[in-house]
Amino acid sequence: MVRYRRNFVPGGTWFFTATLADRRSTALVDHIDALRSAFCAARRASHFAIDAIVVLPDHLHAILTLPANDKDFPGRWRRIKGNFSNALIGAGLDLKRWPNGDLALWQRRFWEHTIRDDGDFARHVDYIHFNPVKHGLARRVSDWPYSSFHRYVREGRLPDDWAGDIGESATDFGEPSPPP
């Protein structure tokens, strides 16, 4: 069996996708406060910066940067996923389990991409912020409440009408076009 290799770069910046096991679930947005608390607890335990993030019903995308001498992003994701799962159990939700007994709320892995340069960073921030529109959850980027887009607007880094309405935008943000 081929062992999956991750790119561990001390002080690196990565784009991540973390997905719930049940793609029909809306647990991430239904329990957004628990998810925020899970991120806060993970950041208290092991510092990291959240450069950009969007939370959708069944998955999230984030760009995280670790401190200069740290490369343990898997540990951060274990904490985030574990804290969120424990919060839901604490709230009385009955979570499914895998056959080995582990909780089955999240897919077992996450996807990561090492950010290479400023252009790569900018493309991934755009992808994150446009994702709710791409998935048909919002007509405008500013309509989706669970996104760092709003922080970018407050900080003057993006205008509130960035990317316009879905009817105005022909941008695919790197996604392959469906076959005709």
Is residue 146 annotated as a catalytic residue, yes or no? yes
13-118: which CATH architecture?
A: 2-Layer Sandwich (3.30)
Q: What does the pLDDT average to over 67-71? A: 94
Q: Convert the pLDDT of each residue in 141-167 to its tens digit.
A: 999 999 999 999 999 999 999 998 875
Four-residue CA torsion sign, 81, 84, 85, 86:
positive
Model pLDDT, residue 150: 98
Model pLDDT, residue 90: 94
Q: Whose CA is closest to 50, among 36, 63, 69, 67?
A: 63
Which of 4, 127, 146, 152 is catalytic? The answer is 146
Alpha carbon 8 to its chain centroid, in Å, reads: 19
Q: Structure tokens of 17?
A: 């996708």
Q: How far apart are CA 135 and CA 139, in angstroms?
A: 10
Residue 124 clears pLDDT 70, i.e. is over it: yes
- Give residue limits of the domains in the chain: 13-118
Residue with more model confidence, 177 or 89: 89
Q: What is the pTM of this model?
A: 0.88
